[in-house]
Amino acid sequence: MKIEQIKVKNFKSLKDIELKFKGLTLITGVNSSGKSSLIQALLLLKQNEDRFYSKRGTKIANINDEYVKLGNKKDILFEEAYRENIEIQISNNKQKQSLVFGNETLNITLGELLPNEGEETFNIFYEDFQYIMTDRIAPNVWYPLSYEAIDKNLLGISGEYTAHYLAKNNHKVLPINALQHPNAITFQLLENVSLWLSEMSHGVSIKVNLNENLLQAYLTYSYIYGDNRTNEYSPLNVGFGLTYVLPVIVAILKAKSDDLIIIENPESHLHPAGQSKIAKLCAIAVANGVQIIIESHSDHFLNALRVATKQEIISPNDSIIYYFSKKQDSLETQIEEIKLNQDGSIDNYPKGFFDQFDNDLDELLGL
Protein backbone atom coordinates (compact mmCIF):
# COMPACT_ATOMS: atom_id res chain seq x y z
CA MET A 1 0.00 0.00 0.00
CA LYS A 2 1.46 3.34 -1.10
CA ILE A 3 2.19 6.35 1.08
CA GLU A 4 0.19 9.39 0.00
CA GLN A 5 1.10 11.86 2.72
CA ILE A 6 3.67 12.47 5.43
CA LYS A 7 3.60 14.76 8.45
CA VAL A 8 6.72 15.52 10.49
CA LYS A 9 7.01 17.73 13.59
CA ASN A 10 10.08 18.83 15.56
CA PHE A 11 12.52 16.56 13.78
CA LYS A 12 15.81 18.32 13.04
CA SER A 13 15.02 21.29 10.75
CA LEU A 14 11.51 19.98 9.98
CA LYS A 15 9.49 22.03 12.46
CA ASP A 16 6.04 21.21 11.13
CA ILE A 17 5.62 19.94 7.57
CA GLU A 18 2.94 18.10 5.66
CA LEU A 19 3.69 16.80 2.16
CA LYS A 20 1.90 14.76 -0.47
CA PHE A 21 3.69 11.79 -2.02
CA LYS A 22 3.04 10.52 -5.53
CA GLY A 23 4.36 7.58 -7.55
CA LEU A 24 7.60 9.49 -8.04
CA THR A 25 8.50 12.07 -5.42
CA LEU A 26 11.59 14.12 -6.32
CA ILE A 27 13.24 15.96 -3.43
CA THR A 28 15.80 18.59 -4.32
CA GLY A 29 17.21 21.80 -2.87
CA VAL A 30 20.23 23.45 -1.33
CA ASN A 31 22.66 21.61 0.91
CA SER A 32 21.70 21.12 4.55
CA SER A 33 18.12 22.21 3.95
CA GLY A 34 16.31 19.16 5.35
CA LYS A 35 16.10 16.80 2.35
CA SER A 36 17.95 13.97 4.06
CA SER A 37 16.02 14.65 7.27
CA LEU A 38 12.76 13.88 5.47
CA ILE A 39 14.15 10.56 4.27
CA GLN A 40 15.52 9.83 7.74
CA ALA A 41 12.06 10.43 9.20
CA LEU A 42 10.65 7.76 6.89
CA LEU A 43 13.47 5.38 7.71
CA LEU A 44 12.87 5.87 11.44
CA LEU A 45 9.43 4.38 10.93
CA LYS A 46 10.93 1.33 9.27
CA GLN A 47 13.67 1.04 11.88
CA ASN A 48 11.16 1.08 14.73
CA GLU A 49 8.66 -1.30 13.17
CA ASP A 50 9.66 -4.17 15.46
CA ARG A 51 8.93 -2.07 18.57
CA PHE A 52 5.24 -2.79 18.11
CA TYR A 53 5.15 -6.54 17.79
CA SER A 54 5.10 -6.73 21.57
CA LYS A 55 2.46 -4.84 23.56
CA ARG A 56 4.43 -5.09 26.81
CA GLY A 57 6.77 -2.69 28.53
CA THR A 58 8.13 0.75 27.75
CA LYS A 59 9.22 1.17 24.18
CA ILE A 60 12.27 3.25 23.34
CA ALA A 61 12.69 4.77 19.88
CA ASN A 62 15.62 3.25 18.03
CA ILE A 63 17.57 6.15 16.49
CA ASN A 64 20.87 4.34 15.77
CA ASP A 65 20.62 1.14 13.78
CA GLU A 66 20.62 -0.28 10.26
CA TYR A 67 18.64 2.34 8.37
CA VAL A 68 19.60 5.54 10.20
CA LYS A 69 22.30 6.49 12.67
CA LEU A 70 21.37 9.84 14.16
CA GLY A 71 23.92 10.00 16.95
CA ASN A 72 23.07 11.92 20.10
CA LYS A 73 19.38 12.21 20.89
CA LYS A 74 19.73 15.92 21.69
CA ASP A 75 20.69 16.61 18.06
CA ILE A 76 17.45 15.42 16.49
CA LEU A 77 14.97 17.79 18.14
CA PHE A 78 14.16 20.99 16.24
CA GLU A 79 16.48 23.64 17.71
CA GLU A 80 13.72 25.99 18.85
CA ALA A 81 11.51 23.28 20.35
CA TYR A 82 11.61 22.63 24.08
CA ARG A 83 10.66 19.31 25.61
CA GLU A 84 8.30 18.67 22.76
CA ASN A 85 7.62 15.32 21.14
CA ILE A 86 8.94 14.31 17.75
CA GLU A 87 6.11 13.15 15.51
CA ILE A 88 6.19 11.24 12.22
CA GLN A 89 3.01 10.13 10.49
CA ILE A 90 2.33 8.54 7.11
CA SER A 91 -1.14 8.13 5.67
CA ASN A 92 -3.39 7.58 2.68
CA ASN A 93 -7.15 7.58 2.22
CA LYS A 94 -7.41 4.20 3.96
CA GLN A 95 -5.34 4.53 7.11
CA LYS A 96 -2.51 6.30 8.92
CA GLN A 97 0.39 5.07 11.01
CA SER A 98 2.38 7.17 13.46
CA LEU A 99 5.47 7.30 15.64
CA VAL A 100 5.62 9.84 18.47
CA PHE A 101 8.45 9.91 20.97
CA GLY A 102 10.00 12.25 23.51
CA ASN A 103 13.37 13.74 22.74
CA GLU A 104 14.85 13.47 26.23
CA THR A 105 13.97 9.86 27.04
CA LEU A 106 13.12 8.53 23.55
CA ASN A 107 10.09 6.92 25.17
CA ILE A 108 7.46 6.19 22.54
CA THR A 109 4.17 7.76 23.57
CA LEU A 110 2.27 6.81 20.43
CA GLY A 111 3.13 4.06 18.01
CA GLU A 112 0.78 2.76 15.36
CA LEU A 113 3.18 1.12 12.95
CA LEU A 114 1.27 -2.13 12.60
CA PRO A 115 -2.04 -2.38 10.74
CA ASN A 116 -5.15 -3.63 12.40
CA GLU A 117 -6.13 -7.20 11.67
CA GLY A 118 -7.17 -7.61 8.05
CA GLU A 119 -5.72 -4.25 6.98
CA GLU A 120 -2.92 -3.73 4.50
CA THR A 121 0.39 -2.26 5.59
CA PHE A 122 2.31 0.57 3.98
CA ASN A 123 4.96 -0.44 1.48
CA ILE A 124 7.77 0.91 3.67
CA PHE A 125 6.98 -1.97 6.03
CA TYR A 126 7.19 -4.64 3.32
CA GLU A 127 9.96 -7.12 3.99
CA ASP A 128 11.60 -6.28 0.65
CA PHE A 129 11.38 -2.47 0.96
CA GLN A 130 14.56 -1.21 -0.71
CA TYR A 131 16.57 1.83 0.38
CA ILE A 132 19.75 2.75 -1.50
CA MET A 133 21.82 5.33 0.36
CA THR A 134 24.24 7.89 -1.09
CA ASP A 135 27.31 6.03 0.19
CA ARG A 136 27.06 2.99 -2.07
CA ILE A 137 29.42 0.16 -2.90
CA ALA A 138 32.64 1.21 -4.59
CA PRO A 139 34.70 -0.84 -7.08
CA ASN A 140 36.37 -3.76 -5.36
CA VAL A 141 37.84 -7.17 -6.09
CA TRP A 142 35.09 -9.01 -4.24
CA TYR A 143 31.80 -8.33 -2.44
CA PRO A 144 30.16 -9.94 0.62
CA LEU A 145 27.38 -12.50 0.61
CA SER A 146 24.18 -12.38 2.63
CA TYR A 147 21.72 -15.22 2.19
CA GLU A 148 19.35 -13.51 4.63
CA ALA A 149 19.22 -10.37 2.48
CA ILE A 150 18.88 -12.29 -0.78
CA ASP A 151 16.06 -14.42 0.64
CA LYS A 152 14.24 -11.18 1.46
CA ASN A 153 14.84 -9.86 -2.08
CA LEU A 154 17.19 -7.13 -0.76
CA LEU A 155 20.47 -5.64 -1.98
CA GLY A 156 21.62 -4.03 1.27
CA ILE A 157 21.28 -0.30 1.93
CA SER A 158 24.66 0.37 0.30
CA GLY A 159 23.97 -2.13 -2.47
CA GLU A 160 26.70 -4.28 -0.96
CA TYR A 161 24.88 -7.54 -1.79
CA THR A 162 24.10 -6.62 -5.40
CA ALA A 163 26.70 -9.01 -6.85
CA HIS A 164 25.36 -11.86 -4.69
CA TYR A 165 21.80 -10.98 -5.70
CA LEU A 166 22.66 -11.04 -9.40
CA ALA A 167 24.49 -14.36 -9.07
CA LYS A 168 21.49 -15.97 -7.42
CA ASN A 169 18.82 -14.29 -9.56
CA ASN A 170 20.50 -13.82 -12.94
CA HIS A 171 17.75 -15.76 -14.72
CA LYS A 172 14.93 -14.25 -12.70
CA VAL A 173 12.20 -12.77 -14.89
CA LEU A 174 11.54 -9.05 -14.48
CA PRO A 175 8.35 -8.56 -12.43
CA ILE A 176 7.41 -5.62 -14.67
CA ASN A 177 7.64 -6.37 -18.40
CA ALA A 178 7.74 -2.68 -19.32
CA LEU A 179 11.20 -2.42 -17.70
CA GLN A 180 12.67 -4.73 -20.34
CA HIS A 181 15.40 -2.91 -22.25
CA PRO A 182 14.44 -2.30 -25.92
CA ASN A 183 17.38 -4.44 -27.11
CA ALA A 184 16.79 -7.33 -24.71
CA ILE A 185 15.87 -10.73 -26.11
CA THR A 186 14.53 -12.06 -22.80
CA PHE A 187 13.00 -10.69 -19.61
CA GLN A 188 15.84 -12.16 -17.55
CA LEU A 189 17.36 -9.88 -14.92
CA LEU A 190 21.08 -10.07 -15.74
CA GLU A 191 20.62 -9.47 -19.47
CA ASN A 192 18.49 -6.41 -18.81
CA VAL A 193 20.82 -5.07 -16.12
CA SER A 194 23.71 -5.28 -18.61
CA LEU A 195 21.75 -3.53 -21.33
CA TRP A 196 20.54 -0.70 -19.09
CA LEU A 197 24.10 -0.35 -17.81
CA SER A 198 25.20 -0.09 -21.44
CA GLU A 199 23.28 3.17 -21.54
CA MET A 200 25.97 4.49 -19.17
CA SER A 201 28.94 2.85 -20.96
CA HIS A 202 28.24 1.46 -24.44
CA GLY A 203 28.61 -2.29 -24.93
CA VAL A 204 29.29 -3.23 -21.31
CA SER A 205 28.31 -6.69 -20.10
CA ILE A 206 28.32 -8.07 -16.53
CA LYS A 207 29.31 -11.45 -15.18
CA VAL A 208 28.99 -12.62 -11.56
CA ASN A 209 30.46 -15.60 -9.75
CA LEU A 210 30.28 -16.90 -6.20
CA ASN A 211 32.84 -18.49 -3.89
CA GLU A 212 30.49 -19.77 -1.23
CA ASN A 213 33.32 -21.26 0.82
CA LEU A 214 34.88 -17.82 1.24
CA LEU A 215 31.47 -16.08 1.34
CA GLN A 216 32.51 -13.81 -1.53
CA ALA A 217 30.91 -12.67 -4.77
CA TYR A 218 32.93 -11.58 -7.79
CA LEU A 219 31.77 -9.07 -10.35
CA THR A 220 33.45 -8.56 -13.73
CA TYR A 221 32.79 -6.37 -16.75
CA SER A 222 33.57 -6.94 -20.41
CA TYR A 223 32.82 -4.94 -23.54
CA ILE A 224 31.17 -6.14 -26.73
CA TYR A 225 32.31 -4.44 -29.93
CA GLY A 226 31.08 -5.78 -33.24
CA ASP A 227 31.37 -9.57 -33.08
CA ASN A 228 34.12 -9.40 -30.46
CA ARG A 229 34.26 -9.31 -26.68
CA THR A 230 37.07 -7.99 -24.49
CA ASN A 231 38.65 -9.78 -21.58
CA GLU A 232 36.86 -9.62 -18.25
CA TYR A 233 37.84 -6.65 -16.10
CA SER A 234 37.40 -6.26 -12.37
CA PRO A 235 35.41 -3.24 -11.13
CA LEU A 236 38.75 -1.65 -10.25
CA ASN A 237 39.60 -1.34 -13.94
CA VAL A 238 36.42 0.20 -15.36
CA GLY A 239 34.69 3.50 -14.68
CA PHE A 240 33.76 4.13 -11.05
CA GLY A 241 30.21 5.11 -12.03
CA LEU A 242 29.32 1.67 -13.39
CA THR A 243 29.62 -0.07 -10.04
CA TYR A 244 28.15 2.90 -8.18
CA VAL A 245 24.95 2.93 -10.24
CA LEU A 246 24.58 -0.86 -10.43
CA PRO A 247 22.49 -1.20 -7.22
CA VAL A 248 20.19 1.56 -8.46
CA ILE A 249 19.48 -0.25 -11.73
CA VAL A 250 18.99 -3.62 -10.03
CA ALA A 251 16.70 -2.13 -7.36
CA ILE A 252 14.42 -0.70 -10.04
CA LEU A 253 14.42 -3.79 -12.28
CA LYS A 254 13.60 -6.18 -9.44
CA ALA A 255 10.71 -4.03 -8.17
CA LYS A 256 7.08 -5.13 -8.23
CA SER A 257 3.99 -2.97 -8.52
CA ASP A 258 3.24 -1.26 -5.18
CA ASP A 259 6.84 -1.61 -3.95
CA LEU A 260 8.64 1.38 -2.43
CA ILE A 261 12.21 2.33 -3.34
CA ILE A 262 14.06 5.24 -1.77
CA ILE A 263 17.23 6.29 -3.60
CA GLU A 264 19.63 9.03 -2.60
CA ASN A 265 21.55 10.75 -5.39
CA PRO A 266 21.07 8.16 -8.16
CA GLU A 267 23.07 10.45 -10.47
CA SER A 268 26.35 10.18 -8.53
CA HIS A 269 29.42 9.58 -10.75
CA LEU A 270 27.35 9.38 -13.92
CA HIS A 271 27.71 11.30 -17.18
CA PRO A 272 24.67 13.56 -17.86
CA ALA A 273 23.31 11.12 -20.46
CA GLY A 274 23.46 8.33 -17.87
CA GLN A 275 21.67 10.48 -15.33
CA SER A 276 18.87 11.01 -17.83
CA LYS A 277 18.55 7.27 -18.50
CA ILE A 278 18.16 6.55 -14.77
CA ALA A 279 15.34 9.10 -14.62
CA LYS A 280 13.64 7.46 -17.61
CA LEU A 281 13.96 4.04 -15.94
CA CYS A 282 12.36 5.45 -12.79
CA ALA A 283 9.53 6.96 -14.84
CA ILE A 284 8.78 3.61 -16.51
CA ALA A 285 8.73 1.84 -13.13
CA VAL A 286 6.41 4.43 -11.58
CA ALA A 287 4.05 4.27 -14.58
CA ASN A 288 3.75 0.55 -13.80
CA GLY A 289 2.90 0.89 -10.12
CA VAL A 290 6.22 1.22 -8.29
CA GLN A 291 6.55 4.07 -5.78
CA ILE A 292 9.95 5.81 -5.82
CA ILE A 293 11.30 8.61 -3.63
CA ILE A 294 14.40 10.30 -5.04
CA GLU A 295 16.74 12.80 -3.43
CA SER A 296 18.78 14.46 -6.17
CA HIS A 297 20.82 17.52 -7.11
CA SER A 298 20.75 16.68 -10.80
CA ASP A 299 19.12 19.01 -13.31
CA HIS A 300 19.61 16.20 -15.86
CA PHE A 301 17.40 13.90 -13.76
CA LEU A 302 14.78 16.64 -13.51
CA ASN A 303 14.85 17.42 -17.23
CA ALA A 304 14.63 13.73 -18.15
CA LEU A 305 11.55 13.46 -15.93
CA ARG A 306 10.10 16.43 -17.80
CA VAL A 307 10.83 14.73 -21.14
CA ALA A 308 9.28 11.46 -19.93
CA THR A 309 6.18 13.42 -18.95
CA LYS A 310 5.95 15.09 -22.36
CA GLN A 311 6.45 11.71 -24.06
CA GLU A 312 3.60 10.32 -21.91
CA ILE A 313 5.84 7.69 -20.35
CA ILE A 314 4.62 9.00 -17.00
CA SER A 315 1.58 11.12 -16.16
CA PRO A 316 2.15 14.50 -14.47
CA ASN A 317 -0.31 13.26 -11.83
CA ASP A 318 2.12 10.46 -10.96
CA SER A 319 5.03 12.72 -9.98
CA ILE A 320 5.62 15.58 -7.57
CA ILE A 321 8.69 17.77 -7.07
CA TYR A 322 9.74 19.58 -3.89
CA TYR A 323 12.38 22.27 -3.51
CA PHE A 324 13.90 22.52 -0.01
CA SER A 325 15.56 25.66 1.33
CA LYS A 326 15.93 27.46 4.65
CA LYS A 327 13.81 30.43 5.61
CA GLN A 328 15.81 33.64 5.81
CA ASP A 329 17.27 34.16 9.29
CA SER A 330 15.71 30.90 10.40
CA LEU A 331 16.69 27.30 11.09
CA GLU A 332 13.39 26.02 9.74
CA THR A 333 13.10 24.16 6.44
CA GLN A 334 10.97 25.82 3.80
CA ILE A 335 9.45 23.57 1.11
CA GLU A 336 7.96 24.65 -2.21
CA GLU A 337 6.05 22.36 -4.56
CA ILE A 338 7.08 22.61 -8.21
CA LYS A 339 4.29 22.09 -10.73
CA LEU A 340 5.06 19.85 -13.70
CA ASN A 341 2.68 20.09 -16.67
CA GLN A 342 1.75 17.53 -19.33
CA ASP A 343 4.04 19.19 -21.88
CA GLY A 344 6.98 18.95 -19.48
CA SER A 345 6.96 22.64 -18.63
CA ILE A 346 7.31 24.00 -15.11
CA ASP A 347 5.16 26.84 -13.83
CA ASN A 348 7.29 28.17 -11.00
CA TYR A 349 11.05 28.45 -10.59
CA PRO A 350 11.94 29.55 -7.05
CA LYS A 351 15.32 31.20 -6.61
CA GLY A 352 18.00 28.50 -6.43
CA PHE A 353 15.95 25.83 -8.21
CA PHE A 354 18.38 24.52 -10.85
CA ASP A 355 19.10 28.07 -12.04
CA GLN A 356 22.90 28.05 -11.79
CA PHE A 357 23.42 27.23 -15.49
CA ASP A 358 21.39 30.29 -16.49
CA ASN A 359 23.15 32.44 -13.90
CA ASP A 360 26.57 31.41 -15.17
CA LEU A 361 25.51 31.88 -18.78
CA ASP A 362 24.28 35.40 -18.02
CA GLU A 363 27.64 36.17 -16.42
CA LEU A 364 29.52 34.88 -19.46
CA LEU A 365 27.33 36.94 -21.79
CA GLY A 366 27.69 39.99 -19.61
CA LEU A 367 23.98 40.23 -18.92
Residue 103: the pLDDT is 81
Residue range(s) defining the domain that contains residue 88: 1-129+259-367
Alpha helices in 30-89, H assignment, sequence order = 35-47
Taking the whole predicted model, whether its pTM rises above 0.75 is answered as: yes
pLDDT of 364: 52
What's residue 158's pLDDT? 96
Residues paired with 118 in a beta bridge: none
- Co-location of 237 and 270 in the same domain: no
CA atoms within 13 A on the CB side of 297: 13
237 and 202 part of one domain: yes
Q: For the purposes of burial, counting CB atoms within 10 Å of the CB of 270, is it exposed (0-12), middle (13-18) or buried (19 or more)?
A: buried
Same domain for 203 and 167: yes
Q: Are residues 146 and 288 in the same domain?
A: no
d(CA 188, CA 195): 11
Backbone angles phi, psi at 98, to 5 degrees: -135, 155
Please state the domain count of the chain: 2
- Could you say which of 218, 234, 254 is where a domain stops? 254
Burial class (CB in 10 A: 0-12, 13-18, 19+), 64: exposed
Alpha helices by DSSP H, the chain: 35-47, 147-151, 162-169, 189-197, 240-253, 272-287, 299-310, 356-365
Q: Residue 116: its pLDDT value, please?
A: 65
What's the pLDDT at 8?
A: 96
Boundary of a domain, candidates 207, 222, 254: 254
**8 Å CB contact between 331 and 13:** yes
pLDDT in tens, 84-129: 899 999 999 988 888 999 888 898 887 766 666 667 889 999 999 9
Query: Which of 254, 285, 313 corresponds to the end of one domain?
Result: 254
| Positions of the chain with pLDDT under 70 | 52-57, 112-118, 352-367
- The 10 Å CB-count burial string (b at 16+, else e) for 124-158 is bbbebbbbbbeebbebeebbebbeebbeebbbbbb
What pLDDT was estimated at residue 73?
86
DSSP 8-state code for residue 48:
T
Q: What is the DSSP letter of 202?
A: T
**Which helix or strand (DSSP H or E) is residue 292 part of?**
strand 291-295
